[in-house]
Chain A
Amino acid sequence: MRKLAMLSFANIRKTKGHTVSLLLMFLIAGLLLNAGSLVFVNFGSFFEKVTKELKTTDVYYIMPSHLYNGEVDKYIRNNKNVSNMQKEEVIWAQASIPYNDDTREISFILNDADKERDFSKWKFVGEHLPPDSMSIYVPYLLNIDGGYKLNDKVKMKFDDAALTFTIKGFTEDAFFSSLDTINLGTYLPHETYEKVVQKLGDKYSATLIFADLDKVNNEVETGIRELVQPDQKATLSMVEDTRTLSSSDIELLRTSRTFMSSMASVMAMAFAFIIAIVCLIVVRFRIGNSIEEDMSKIGSLRAIGYTSRQIILSIVMQYMLIALVGSIAGISLSYLTTPILSDIFAHQSGLMWVQGFDGAISSIILSAILFVVIIVSFISSGRIRKLNPIVALRGGITTHNFRKNYLPLHKSIGSLPVVLGFKSMLQSRKHSFMIGVILAAVSFASTFGAVMFYNTVIDTQAFAKTPGIELSNAVAILNSDAEQPKLVDNIKNMKNVRKVQYIDESKVKIENYDVTAYVMEDFSTKETNTVFKGRYPLHSNEVVLAGILADKMDKKIGDRVMIKVGAKQAEYMITGLSQGANMGGMNASIRWDGILKVNPDFKQQSLQIYLNKNSKADEFVNKLESDYGDSIVTSVDMDKIMDDGMGMYISIVSKLGMGMMVITIVVVILVLYFVIISSVIRKKRELGIQKAIGFTTFQLMNQLSLGFLPPIIIGVLFGSAVGITLTNPLMSVAMRAMGIMKAQFVIATSWISLFGVALVVVSYCTSMLITYRIRKISAYALVSE
């Protein structure tokens, strides 16, 4: 064993450059695989741990206190599906707060921090300070994303009042800690809570119910809704509806709070997998080359009594050691990245994920890498068994077996280095193929990264359309008693208004599923097309279902479904399938004359306003409020909502995309270094002869680099083409859980081409730099050695 280790170390010492580059590749693979696995396995389970620790219930319901009457209370308590419940009085209000040099409108739940809770508890994250007057504990999100620190003042502006609190601690709970989950929970010491109640009065008093359900579904919610709005439900707009009853279950929450981390970890792992395969191809290549280079040495070892098994084992040990050191370094480094990843994901999840050393995951990753390296090196070095010692001592007789003279010089056109480069490429088809495959794999990954980067940094339209929300610039919720046609006309004639149209939302029941239906008079004027199969409804008896909903119902285009609102119901034909993450994908689209069949009192209220290019939505909304404030319930700056909402996703995905592109370039440089250095060593004699007959170093550098260029170009072209073709289908699969059935990211071929060209240029320049060592090969050494 000691002898074998000596042989392995001697080989490692002899090929320091190769060892370092291979080590770096294993480091990258180990880092990405471990970091990806930690996030994939532990971030989700961390959320589970938090929910368990805080005894989080299956669902919560919140509604204004005046709606929570004895009948509702009795309904919930006696409901067979409800196994546990806890009721609490809270303050539930929309308020704006300064947020990261900006202002954000957030739905807040202000809880009494001193009230004991049996379920759905909350906890402090990090240090907290003793309370004084007007103290508040806010979600950790406000620290990591909102820019607040302990003892900072936070001013909450309600409709008719403003309160300033001092932040004394940051909190974490399962339901109310992320901007993605509708309501944000804050906790006030009892004294402060009482003061706030006194100041705000009953207007924002609400009842918060936490419940455990035997079967998690929205049956209880539907029951409560029917009790709290028996007569109003037909006329309520969606905005009013969400202020009547808001609810969420833990499953929806889990998806929403861990979606980004899951997607990012899957992307990182897929990328790491590609890098690991590249490492294995390189190991195989290196072993093949080293057998050729060390043929005489192998012969000597055999001659002095080493068995082929011992020589093979020394090679296996050599690569296992490199993989071991590289992977351990990568895995160790990955633990340094988890706090960074935790910070990145916290912007979306609101969770302070603390990842310690995970021996199980890291051991599995390390073992898996070592296992495949051992297998690949064992198989690759197998040909040593067939080597005759005498043949090996003579340097091998079958190392150069040329069968065909590719590109004969007397027939070929082009400059000599180009022709000789191509000739060499055709003679080393295996190597060329390997470079092509590696470049194709990393180009595919980088194309994916480039698409993500383009869609999150350069042109965010497609990314913004992903949730399926209509991309208007502002929304005005009109008073139901306002003189609407005239008001709409007036708004339409305001400065910078390009177009206005109603897009309302209405709660309907489709085949026992509670669904949000988008209602429009004419879907052809919709600017965000979410139908990925079929078409929008053209007639009153047609409906479009979200793909995820149709899957659940096992319905397809052409099938009929019953839609129900209250006691009224009608049959509709499915004309298309739509996508969109909004409402967890549980949505449908129906014409205005269609909804009237089941809800004759339905009134259009939600006016989407589209402004001319470069108009400022915030200025427009202010003008709208000042001109028509009496006739509208509320107005919303959609540009700001989209910017705020998409900001964190854009930040995460763009960083991931950028990371993939950078790692691609690093890997390409490492692989080329590896392959070219091997090639220069292997062709030392050939290069020496060429130098002797008058080739300059630059000509030889060009000749070698040009020989690598065709497989690089073909690999980049192939990888990019596959990336262009598969990015959207792969993203569709990744985002299916959130209701995106057919991703439609912009595939900016010009950008991908540019990156491809950059990759080829970087490769060529790297080749030229690496082959510069040819200057050290002297013609004289050839004859004197």
Chain B
Amino acid sequence: MSQVMIATDKLSKSFSSGGVQQHVLKNLDLEILSGDFTVIMGSSGAGKSTLMYALSGMDKPTLGSITYFDQEIAKLSNDKLAVFRRLNCGFVFQQMFLLDNMSILDNILAAGLLVSNDRKAITARAKELLAQVGLTELIWSKFPTQLSGGEAQRAAIVRALINQPKVVFADEPTGALNSASGKAVLDVLTDLNSRGQSIIMVTHDLKSARRGNRILYMRDGVIHGICNLGKYVSGDRERHGKLQAFLTEMGW
């Protein structure tokens, strides 16, 4: 039985734009289990990314609480949230957001050395992870701008994993990649999840969504529907149909 990793209670997020209040998340009560590959889907403006960044401590909710295991994070200061993120979360962004002025290896170590002073151990782990995602030694010393999109995203995944986070947040990780690179990135994420890594991913892409075992569909700031697909197995046609039916039902 999986443990509840993140739980929200009446989670709300509003923005004020030109004096008009916009309620992006509305009283969300949600539980995400440890070890799940949770996919958040929905149309544009549904609040997918807002929810994911609120859950990750990157943004603060307007109202409500977020409990991460036993820790309430919604009221933490910005610096405490930064420490929370470095210890518990890994991030994979659509635009990768690697530091252009650092080599690939340094990008990963910059995150790793925030948590551990054991330079040797962190370097060894970084190299091991890089090799695991198929990035050869040749590109470790290259700068992000010298890499292809797929390579850069895989490097970003390694950066997200370097501190052995309890959860990896991925925001449209294949959005900026061609299909081959996108598949390679999804394979890495699926493999990670199969080894117990919790993943929360926001996506528009059906192929990507299919990799998750639990699909949350958002509309107008609320969870409109949930679909449990079970563990991903390559070539599972039934899974694809089930997801498509769910999405059709949701009006996607």
List chain A positions with a Cβ less than 8 A from chain B: 400, 402, 405, 408-410, 416, 420, 423-424, 427, 685-686, 688-698, 775, 778-780, 782-784
Check A424 against B78 for contact (C-beta < 8 Å): no
When C-beta atoms are compared, the residue in chain B nearest to A780 turns out to be B59
Check A408 against B103 for contact (C-beta < 8 Å): yes
CB-CB contacts below 8 Å: B62-117 with A: 78-79, 82-83, 85-87, 91, 93, 97-103, 105-106, 109-111, 113-115
A683 CB to nearest B CB, Å: 9
Q: Which residue of B58, B109, B119 contacts A692 across the interface (Cβ within 8 Å)?
A: B58
Are A427 and B101 CB-contacts (below 8 A) given A405-B141, A694-B83?
A: yes
Instruction: Pick the most buried of A408, A423, A427: most chain B CB atoms within 10 A of its CB.
Output: A408
When C-beta atoms are compared, the residue in chain B nearest to A409 turns out to be B109
B48 CB to nearest A CB, Å: 12
> In whole angstroms, what is the CA distance A693 to B110 when docked?
9
Q: Which residue of B79, B99, B115, B126 contacts A696 across the interface (Cβ within 8 Å)?
A: B79
Q: Which residue of A409, A693, A783 contacts B53 across the interface (Cβ within 8 Å)?
A: A783
Instruction: Pick the most buried of A400, A405, A775: most chain B CB atoms within 10 A of its CB.
Output: A405
Are A416 and B110 CB-contacts (below 8 A) given A405-B102, A408-B103?
A: yes
Which chain A positions have C-beta within 8 A of B145? Answer: 400, 402
- How many interface residues does B have (CB within 8 Å)? 37
Check B59 against A694 for contact (C-beta < 8 Å): no
The 3 nearest A-B residue pairs measured at CB: A694-B86, A409-B109, A410-B123
CB-CB contacts below 8 Å: B110-159 with A: 110-111, 113-115, 119, 123, 126, 141, 143, 145, 159
Check A689 against B99 for contact (C-beta < 8 Å): yes
Q: Does B171 contact A (CB under 8 A)?
A: yes
Which chain B positions have C-beta within 8 A of A420? Answer: 110
When C-beta atoms are compared, the residue in chain A nearest to B122 turns out to be A410
Q: Which residue of B79, B87, B110, B143 contacts A697 across the interface (Cβ within 8 Å)?
A: B79
Which chain A positions have C-beta within 8 A of B87? Answer: 694
Interface contacts beyond A410-B126, A416-B114: sample of 10 additional A-B pairs, CB < 8 Å, sorted by A: A686-B100, A688-B97, A689-B99, A690-B99, A692-B85, A693-B91, A694-B86, A698-B79, A783-B97, A784-B53
Check B105 against A402 for contact (C-beta < 8 Å): no
Check A410 against B109 for contact (C-beta < 8 Å): yes
Which chain A positions have C-beta within 8 A of B141? Answer: 405, 408
Are A424 and B101 CB-contacts (below 8 A) given A694-B85, A783-B93?
A: yes
Are A686 and B99 CB-contacts (below 8 A) given A400-B145, A410-B123, A697-B79?
A: yes
A550 CB to nearest B CB, Å: 62
Instruction: Pick the most buried of A410, A423, A780: most chain B CB atoms within 10 A of its CB.
Output: A410
> In whole angstroms, what is the CA distance A408 to B110 when docked?
10
Check B113 against A692 for contact (C-beta < 8 Å): no
Check A689 against B97 for contact (C-beta < 8 Å): yes
Check A692 against B102 for contact (C-beta < 8 Å): no
Which chain A positions have C-beta within 8 A of B100? Answer: 400, 402, 686
When C-beta atoms are compared, the residue in chain B nearest to A428 turns out to be B101
Q: Does B49 contact A (CB under 8 A)?
A: yes
Are A780 and B86 CB-contacts (below 8 A) given A692-B91, A693-B111, A694-B114?
A: no
A400 CB to nearest B CB, Å: 5
> In whole angstroms, what is the CA distance A779 to B159 when docked?
16
Instruction: Pick the most buried of A409, A696, A775: most chain B CB atoms within 10 A of its CB.
Output: A409
Which chain B positions have C-beta within 8 A of A690? Answer: 99, 110
Which chain A positions have C-beta within 8 A of B93? Answer: 783
When C-beta atoms are compared, the residue in chain A nearest to B146 turns out to be A402
Which chain A positions have C-beta within 8 A of B115? Answer: 694
> In whole angstroms, what is the CA distance A692 to B156 when docked?
12
Q: Which residue of B49, B83, B105, B110 contacts A783 across the interface (Cβ within 8 Å)?
A: B49
> In whole angstroms, what is the CA distance A310 to B239 when docked?
61
Q: Which residue of B101, B111, B123 contacts A402 across the interface (Cβ within 8 Å)?
A: B101
B74 CB to nearest A CB, Å: 14
> In whole angstroms, what is the CA distance A420 to B109 when docked?
11
When C-beta atoms are compared, the residue in chain A nearest to B109 turns out to be A409
Q: Which residue of A400, A685, A783 contacts B58 across the interface (Cβ within 8 Å)?
A: A783
Which chain B positions have C-beta within 8 A of A692? Answer: 58, 85, 91, 97
B228 CB to nearest A CB, Å: 28
Which chain B positions have C-beta within 8 A of A775? Answer: 78
Which chain A positions have C-beta within 8 A of B97? Answer: 685, 688-689, 692, 782-783
> In whole angstroms, what is the CA distance A427 to B102 when docked?
10
When C-beta atoms are compared, the residue in chain B nearest to A781 turns out to be B59
> In whole angstroms, what is the CA distance A698 to B80 when docked?
12
A704 CB to nearest B CB, Å: 13
When C-beta atoms are compared, the residue in chain B nearest to A697 turns out to be B79
Give 12 A-B contacts (CB < 8 Å), ordered by A residue.
A405-B143, A409-B110, A420-B110, A423-B102, A692-B91, A693-B85, A694-B83, A694-B85, A694-B87, A694-B115, A780-B58, A783-B93
Which chain B positions have C-beta within 8 A of A424? Answer: 101
> In whole angstroms, what is the CA distance A695 to B110 when docked?
9
> In whole angstroms, what is the CA distance A644 to B94 when docked?
78
A530 CB to nearest B CB, Å: 60
B152 CB to nearest A CB, Å: 13
B113 CB to nearest A CB, Å: 5
Which chain B positions have C-beta within 8 A of A689? Answer: 97-99
Are A409 and B171 CB-contacts (below 8 A) given A693-B86, A780-B58?
A: no
Instruction: Pick the most buried of B82, B159, B171: most chain A CB atoms within 10 A of its CB.
Output: B82
Which chain A positions have C-beta within 8 A of B82? Answer: 691, 694-697
Q: Which residue of A409, A685, A691, A694 contacts B106 across the interface (Cβ within 8 Å)?
A: A409
Instruction: Pick the most buried of A691, A693, A775: most chain B CB atoms within 10 A of its CB.
Output: A693
> In whole angstroms, what is the CA distance A227 to B236 when docked?
130
Which chain B positions have C-beta within 8 A of A423? Answer: 101-102
> In whole angstroms, what is the CA distance A693 to B93 when docked?
11
Q: Which residue of B58, B106, B111 contacts A779 across the interface (Cβ within 8 Å)?
A: B58
